[in-house]
Structure 1
Amino acid sequence: MSPSAITPEGGSESSVSLREVGEFRLIDRVTTDRVQPDTTVLGPGDDSAIVAAADGRVVACTDVLVEGVHFRLDWSSPEQVGRKAAAANLADVAAMGAVPTSLLVGLACPSSTPANQLEQLADGLWAEASSVGAGLVGGDLTSGPVIVVSVTALGSLQGRAPVLRSGARPGDRVAVCGRLGWSAAGLAVLGRGFRSPAALVNAHRVPEPPYAAGPAAADAGATAMIDVSDGLLADLGHLARASGVAVRLRSRSFTVPARLAEIGSALGLDPLRWMLTGGEDHALAATFPEGAELPPDWVEIGAVEAPDDAGRAVTVDGRPYEGDQGWVHFAKS
């Protein structure tokens, strides 16, 4: 990218604001010469995009990331924020058993925001979308007091039946695929003023959802599935209530990674709690029929039972888990 492309005479790339560059010039910079997938019939530049939907159905979801709530630019680069915003939505598409096809992005920010920050954020959105063969097909840019990124993801079921939260049945196996607790551990490290170990800090900055595991689980007969965004216990609670069942987890089925154990010991915190209640790793949790073979990289962690008289949606080793179950929006605002 040539700095002179967005730098007025006498200015430096890092100091030029959106006010100086202008809305449409910036949009041109972040959309021109980008490679779109075959599913994009018409990309950015018109009143609406056109995305092919050969299946006849479109999976759609939206997430909003707010500066100071979901990310901090002193902890994450704009490119990492873009990747994180895309990943949160692409994981939701995968949790339906679908394959992502495209993203729409709404962005609000102060007019004083450096234009190169927004270009880097867009680079992150494009990079994460491209990693799963999706495109960024349109969006909107407006002013606001802080940076707010709203992403809508579209996906294709490719002929599959969608895997809903409401399909779990007593006797099913409960399994997960992807990292658990890494983002929460990274957040704890950052909150103590440290920037290492890098593997954990970067896990908070940019999640690594197992996108392909969603369609694979659907093909393997998964009865219910959910993206772990707010914490495993919290999200399995959503699944259990939607299905009218109880989920019983076994702590012995969780292997605490060495990295989590080491930093947990250093900070005096329980790494298993991060795995059970930490959000933003965007692992996938699903239920499978009893006796079904799990797809590669899925790990069984419990079972589905009929609800008990106490109405406990999720238990660990037969007991309710003490303390927070995961992130609850508005509870601490």
Structure 2
Amino acid sequence: MSPSSRTPSGATEASDTPSEADETPALATIGEFGLIERVTRDRVQPPATLLGPGDDAAVVAQPDGRAVACVDVLVEGVHFRLDWSAPEDVGRKAVAANLADVAAMGAVPTGLLVGLAAPRDTPVETLEGLATGMWTEAEVVGVGLVGGDVASSPTLVVSVTALGSLEGRAPVTRDGARPGDVVAVCGRIGWAAAGLAVLTRGFRAPGVLVDAHRVPTPPYAAGPAAAHAGATAMIDVSDGLLADLGHVAADSGVRIELRRDAFAVPDRLAEVAPALGVDPIDWMLTGGEDHALAATFPAGTTLPAGFVEVGAVVEGEGVVVDGEPYAGAPGWEHFT
């Protein structure tokens, strides 16, 4: 099927001619420190930031003496395309990927560090847009961009490091699932994969799916809520539900059994999938970048708001769907 012969429900074809952007100064014109001044100017730091940008390192309050730390790297052409996403979207996505990892440990975010590498001819407007998106997503959870670094590069690269606090709780790791636990998911799954499929075919609609690819909406508060409820293991669904639960199964030494009938297919996925020749459940099982949370809980636990039971933990190894290994790649993996 080609885009000219058929479009997804409600879709419109993308224009072949990109619109011309207004001319703006390039990064080489203002330099490293000029860029830093632009993206930090007039930004208000939250109380947890004891010392923000401007010194050799930031100082961030960690109330219980421990810091949860994670980092994600986004590379233009691999993780994002600026003809598909606005710079603000890329900035939000870079931050969301890290904040979801903090939530998956049962922690709450306390600060963000940003590493940025960009070609000398990158428009300053693009980099300011990235920064605006980062601050926008950071404000969702009440943290700030406390510092970072800038370098020249032939490719635009955004690296974000997130810090978090466990608030006195034990971290919820990947190795705690036990036979008898239930498996539950909180947040959207399959939406970003559907949006990517739409964009790959040359369309820009349905907008709700394309937007899901551009900017994920992780359930940040669900991570600490799951920890409070007694979650035995938890993971951020970044590479695909089957792939990520595979890490939980391997680290915990168990088998995870999922049921197809436990997944309610959203209407928008069900509408678009036939036009693209896809089973929407496949998007939900293997699609990444929604940054939902998957967790295991002892049987009988009252699941926190938003979590839906989709399977069980049993003796054995691996992840199966309706008792059978999944036919196909379980998700995304770099280099393979």
Which TM class, normalised by the smaller chain length? over 0.9
Determine what percentage of the aligned residue pairs are the same residue.
Answer: 71
Q: Deviations over 1:144-184 (max 9, x none)?
A: 01100010000011111110000000000000000000000
Q: Secondary structure at the match of 1:299?
A: strand
Unaligned stretches of 5+ residues in structure 2: 1-20
Q: Does 1:329 align with 2:317?
A: no
The 5-angstrom pairing of residues 107-256 of structure 1 reads 107-256=116-265
Moved over 4 A (4+): none
Match of 2:271 in 1: 262
Unaligned stretches of 5+ residues in structure 1: 1-11
Q: Secondary structure at the match of 2:50?
A: strand
Cα distance in 1 for residues equivalent to 2:116 and 2:74: 10
Q: Secondary structure at the match of 1:262?
A: helix
Cα displacement (A) at 1:139: 0.3
Contact 2:62/2:110 (8 A) holds in 1: no
Match of 2:6 in 1: none
Match of 2:46 in 1: 37
Cα displacement (A) at 1:54: 1.3
Cα displacement (A) at 1:15: 2.6
Q: Deviations over 1:59-111 (max 9, x none)?
A: 00000000000000000000000000000000000000000111100000100
Q: Secondary structure at the match of 2:218?
A: coil
Cα displacement (A) at 1:271: 0.6
Paired residue for 2:72, among 44, 63, 85?
63
Match of 2:5 in 1: none
Cα distance in 2 for residues equivalent to 1:32 and 1:14: 22
Cα distance in 1 for residues equivalent to 2:327 and 2:22: 51
Q: Deviations over 1:22-42 (max 9, x none)?
A: 111110111121111111000
Q: Secondary structure at the match of 2:175?
A: helix
User: How well do the aligned residues superpose, as a CA RMSD in angstroms?
Assistant: 0.9
Cα distance in 2 for residues equivalent to 1:293 and 1:82: 36
Paired residue for 1:79, among 72, 88, 92?
88
Contact 1:178/1:209 (8 A) holds in 2: yes
Q: Give the number of equivalent residue pairs.
A: 316
Cα distance in 1 for residues equivalent to 2:278 and 2:315: 33
Contact 1:14/1:116 (8 A) holds in 2: no
Cα distance in 2 for residues equivalent to 1:79 and 1:117: 8
Cα distance in 2 for residues equivalent to 1:238 and 1:28: 41
Cα distance in 2 for residues equivalent to 1:248 and 1:185: 24
Contact 2:104/2:293 (8 A) holds in 1: yes
Q: Secondary structure at the match of 1:35?
A: coil
Q: Deviations over 1:210-237 (max 9, x none)?
A: 0000000000000000000000000000
Match of 2:320 in 1: 315
Shift in CA distance, 188/117, structure 1 to aligned 2, threshold 3 Å: same
Q: Does 1:288 align with 2:293?
A: no
Cα distance in 1 for residues equivalent to 2:166 and 2:23: 42
Contact 2:198/2:205 (8 A) holds in 1: yes
Q: Deviations over 1:285-315 (max 9, x none)?
A: 00000111100110000000011xxx4x100
Match of 2:113 in 1: 104
Cα distance in 1 for residues equivalent to 2:168 and 2:43: 29
Contact 1:108/1:148 (8 A) holds in 2: yes
Give the aligned residue type for 2:304.
P
Match of 1:5 in 2: none
Cα distance in 1 for residues equivalent to 2:248 and 2:109: 22
Cα displacement (A) at 1:13: 6.9
Give the aligned residue type for 1:300.
E
